[in-house]
A and B are shown apart, each in its own frame.
Chain A
Amino acid sequence: MSGIVEVNGLTKLFGDLVAVDHVEFSIAQGEIFGLLGPNGAGKTTTISMISGLLEPTGGDVLVDGHSVRTEPRAVKRKLGVVPQEVALYPTLTARENLQFWGRMYGLRGKELSSAVDEALELAGLADRARERIEKYSGGMKRRINIAAGILHHPKVLLMDEPTVGIDPQSRNHILEQVKGLRGSGMTVLYTSHYMEEVEFLCDRVAIVDHGKVIAMGTLEELRKLVGDADIVRIGVDETLAEESLVAVRAVPGVIQAERADSVLEALAADGGGALAGIISALNAAGEKVHSAEVVEPNLESVFLHLTGKSLRD
C-alpha cells in the first residue's frame, strides 16, 4: 500500500552542487517520520521541494496522490509547513497572525475563529493572544510558529527543525505538542539534527548525509545496524591533536572515533571495556579528560557507524 507521502528519486542541483541526491522514502498515514542528519545534509532542501517551494531537478513527490510537479496547489492544500525560522509578522498579535495564516489556508468565518482559538490553546498562549509577537520570548514565538502550520488541520505536516535555538522548557512543550498530533491522525515529517528529538517522536527515521538517504527504518531496525556497539563519550579540549585521535582509534575494541567541538565519541563493541583503554591512550598523548560516559546504542552511534563522523559535525 502506498503512503500518503511518496518521495521518488528526488534530486536537486544548485549548479554543480548536489544538494539532494535521488532521495526515496514513503510515509504512511498518521506516521511521524523523521529526517535526521547534520546541518547541510539536504533536509531543508527536501522539505522545500515537497512543499512546492523549490522545483526538483529530478524525481517527484506525491502527497495524497497529487504530484508536486503537476498539481502543486492540490499538494499545498494537503500540507501544513512549520519552517525552521520563525516566519510571523512581529507587529501583529498572535491572534492576528494566526487569523492571517488561517486565511491563507482558505479558512473563513466561524471555522477560522474556532481554529485560531484551538491553535492558541494548543500553544498554551490563549491568555496572551492579544500581545504582539515582537513582545514574545523565542520559545513562545516558536509555539505560535507551529500553531500557524497546524491550525487548518493539514493531512501532512512538514516540520523543519522547529526547536532550533530555544530553551529546554519550550522545547519540551513543542515535542509534547507534536507527539500529541499523532492522536489526531495527522502525518508528520520532522527534520532535525537532534538525535534525542527524533528518537522521542518518530516511528520511522531516514538518516541523511550529503543529500543521500544512508539508512532508513524504525529505531529498532536502525540500532541493529551497529549491533551491540556502544558509544563512549569523552569530554576533551577542543585542541585535541589528530595523533591523539589516531591513538584512540587504535585502542582494542574501538570501531570508530571522532571529535566534535569538545566531545570525543568512540564507537566500541564493548563500551565499558574500551573506556579505560581510551582514557589511558588520551593520558599517554598528554590530553586532558574532563568527563567520560558510556551510552547505549542510539541514532548517534548509527550515524557514527555509517558515516564515520558525529551528527554535530
Chain B
Amino acid sequence: MKRLLHIALKDLMTWLRDPAALGVMLGMPVILILILGSAMGGLGGGEAGGGGIKVAIVDQDEPVADPARQELALGREITTMLVDNDELSSLFAIEISEDADEVRASVERGDLAAALIVPSGFSRSVNEGQPVELEVLRDPGADLSAGIWEGVVRSVAVELSRVSVIAQTAGRVAGEQGLPPEAVGAIVGKAVEQAAASEERAVRVEVRQAEREGEPFGPLDYYSLSMTAMFLLFGSMFGAFSLITERREQTMSRLLTTPTPRASFIGGKMLGIFLLGALQFGVLYAYTSGMMRVDWGGDPIATLSIGIAELAATAGLAVLIASIARTERGAGGLGPLVIQVMALLGGAFFPLTILPDWLQPVRYISVVGWALDGFQAVQTRGAGLVDVIPNIAALAGFAVVFFGIGVWRLKDAR
C-alpha cells in the first residue's frame, strides 16, 4: 500500500514540474471559462436555441359572459396569441398543460426554462377592472431564456391592462349616458388614449424563481461548471502519457522486478491521476467561487462527491487510453478526441437543451454529461447528495468499465 502511495506521489511531483501539464490542467480551463462566460452571454444553463426555448402555459382561467363582447376568455386569447405568433414560435417550444403542479416541478428540475400560469378568474377580474396577476415561473439555471419569456409575458400584460381600462371606461360611460352605439366608438377612443397615458397596470406579472432566491445564474456560472467537468477529464490524457512513458522508458519493467505487485503499480498510477485531478478541482473550485463569485450551490459535499466520482472515471479512462494508444503520440491524438467528444455530448460547450428532445439523452453516454448534470443540479436546483446519487453511480460505472477493459488489455504489458 505504501508503494502505491509513493508511485502516486512520484507522478504528482513529475506533473507539477511539467509546465505543459499545468497549463492544460489549470491555465486552459480558467481562460476558457472567462472567454466562454463572456462571449456566450446569449446562452445560459437549461436553455434552448434551435429547437426552441422550452416553456409551458397553464390556462386555469374560466370564460365570462360579457354583454358587449359576448364572451370574454382572456386565458385562451393569451395562449392563442403566444402560440400562433410566428416570431414567437420560432423562438419558443410552447407546451400547453393543464397541470400547474407538474409544470412547476418541470421548471424546478430545469426541464422547462420558464412557464406562464394564467390564474383562475383572470377574465372575470380583468372584465371587472380588478387587479390581477399572471404568474411566470423561471428556472434560475436558464436565466436568459426565462428572461425572454418573462419579457414576452410582460408585454402581453401591458396590452391586457389597456384592454381592461378601455373596457371599463367604455362600459361605464355608455351605461351612464345611455348613448347610442355610434357614440361608444368615440368614447372608446378616449379610453384608449387614457389607457396609453395610464401609469397603472390592471394586469400585473408576478415572477417566481424556481426553488432558489438571490442572483440569477449566468453563462459564467454555467461555464465554470462545464469547463471544470471537461478539464477534470484531461487528467486521463496525462495519466495515459505517464503509463505509456513508463513502458517505453522501461521504468515499468524495472518496477515490476522490485517486490512491487502489478496491482500496486496500476493502483499507484490511478491514484496519481486522482490526486492531480483533486488538486485541479480544488484550484478551479476555489478560483471560480472566490475570484469569479460563481455559486456552486448549497451542498459542497454533493459537488465534491460528483467530482470524486468523475475523477475515478478519469483514472479509469487513462488506463483505457494507455491500453489502446500504446505510444505517447497515439495517446496525444486519442485522448483529446475522446475528451472533446465527451465534452460536446455532455454539454460542456453549449447547453444541450438547444438540441431536439430525442437527441438530448446523448449526455448519458458522456462522463462530462453526467458530471455536469450533477453539478448543475446542485447549483441551480438545490439538489443534495441523495439527489445526485444516480450521477455518482453512473460515473462510478464508467470508472469500472474503463478500468476493467484497460487492465484486461494491459495484463501482459511490461
| A and B interact physically | yes
Residues of A within 8 A of B261 (CB): 73
Residues of A within 8 A of B208 (CB): none
Residues of B within 8 A of A87 (CB): 249-251, 253-254
> Which of B13, B250, B259 touches A76 (beta carbons < 8 Å)?
B259
* Closest Cβ–Cβ distance, residue A101 to chain B (whole Å): 7
User: Complex: how many Å from CA A77 to CA B260?
Assistant: 10
Q: Does A85 make an interface contact (CB < 8 A)?
A: yes
Q: Does B14 make an interface contact (CB < 8 A)?
A: yes
* Closest Cβ–Cβ distance, residue A195 to chain B (whole Å): 26
Residues of A within 8 A of B255 (CB): 104
* Closest Cβ–Cβ distance, residue A265 to chain B (whole Å): 33
User: 1/0 contact trace for A37-64 toward B, CB 8 Å?
Assistant: 0000000000010011110000000000
Q: Does A105 make an interface contact (CB < 8 A)?
A: yes
* Closest Cβ–Cβ distance, residue A87 to chain B (whole Å): 4
User: Complex: how many Å from CA A101 to CA B251?
Assistant: 10
Determine whether the beta carbon of B13 is less than 8 Å from that of A92: yes
* Closest Cβ–Cβ distance, residue B255 to chain A (whole Å): 6
Determine whether the beta carbon of A81 is less than 8 Å from that of B254: yes
Q: Does B69 make an interface contact (CB < 8 A)?
A: no
User: 1/0 contact trace for B10-52 toward A, CB 8 Å?
Assistant: 1001100110000000000000000000000000000000000
User: Complex: how many Å from CA A51 to CA B260?
Assistant: 12
Residue with the highest number of chain A CB atoms closer than 10 Å, among B6, B257, B259, B260: B257
Q: B252-273: which have CB < 8 Å to A?
A: 253-261
Q: Does A100 make an interface contact (CB < 8 A)?
A: yes
Q: Does A103 make an interface contact (CB < 8 A)?
A: yes
Determine whether the beta carbon of B13 is less than 8 Å from that of A104: no
Q: B231-257: which have CB < 8 Å to A?
A: 249-251, 253-257
User: Complex: how many Å from CA A238 to CA B267?
Assistant: 52
> Which of A106, A108, A148 touches B259 (beta carbons < 8 Å)?
A106
> Which of B6, B253, B414 touches A104 (beta carbons < 8 Å)?
B6
> Which of B2, B18, B250 touches A83 (beta carbons < 8 Å)?
B250
Residues of A within 8 A of B172 (CB): none
Determine whether the beta carbon of B14 is less than 8 Å from that of A76: no
Determine whether the beta carbon of B260 is less than 8 Å from that of A104: yes
User: Complex: how many Å from CA A81 to CA B414?
Assistant: 15
Residues of B within 8 A of A148 (CB): 254
User: Complex: how many Å from CA A28 to CA B2?
Assistant: 34
User: Complex: how many Å from CA A104 to CA B260?
Assistant: 6
* Closest Cβ–Cβ distance, residue A221 to chain B (whole Å): 31
User: 1/0 contact trace for B335-355 toward A, CB 8 Å?
Assistant: 000000000000000000000
Determine whether the beta carbon of A88 is less than 8 Å from that of B251: yes
> Which of B3, B18, B250 touches A103 (beta carbons < 8 Å)?
B3
Query: Which B-chain residue is minimally distant from A148 (CB atoms)?
Result: B254
User: Complex: how many Å from CA A104 to CA B252?
Assistant: 12
> Which of A52, A89, A91 touches B256 (beta carbons < 8 Å)?
A52
> Which of B10, B13, B18, B257 touches A79 (beta carbons < 8 Å)?
B257
User: Complex: how many Å from CA A79 to CA B254?
Assistant: 12
Q: Does A199 make an interface contact (CB < 8 A)?
A: no
Whether A85 touches B250, Cβ cut-off 8 Å, given contacts A51-B257, A53-B256, A101-B258, is: yes
Residue with the highest number of chain A CB atoms closer than 10 Å, among B13, B254, B261: B254
Q: A161-218: which have CB < 8 Å to B?
A: none
User: Complex: how many Å from CA A108 to CA B3?
Assistant: 11
> Which of A73, A85, A100, A106 touches B10 (beta carbons < 8 Å)?
A100
Query: Which B-chain residue is minimally distant from A77 (CB atoms)?
Result: B259
Q: Does A96 make an interface contact (CB < 8 A)?
A: yes
Closest 6 CB pairs of A and B: A87-B254, A51-B257, A104-B258, A81-B257, A87-B250, A76-B259
Known: A81-B254, A91-B17, A104-B258. 4 other contacts (CB 8 A): A76-B259, A77-B259, A101-B258, A148-B254
Q: Can you spell out 29 A-B residue pairs with CB atoms less than 8 angstroms apart?
A: A51-B257, A53-B256, A53-B414, A54-B414, A73-B259, A73-B261, A76-B258, A76-B259, A79-B257, A81-B254, A81-B257, A81-B258, A83-B250, A83-B254, A85-B249, A86-B249, A87-B249, A87-B250, A88-B251, A89-B14, A89-B251, A91-B14, A92-B10, A92-B13, A96-B13, A103-B2, A103-B3, A104-B3, A105-B258
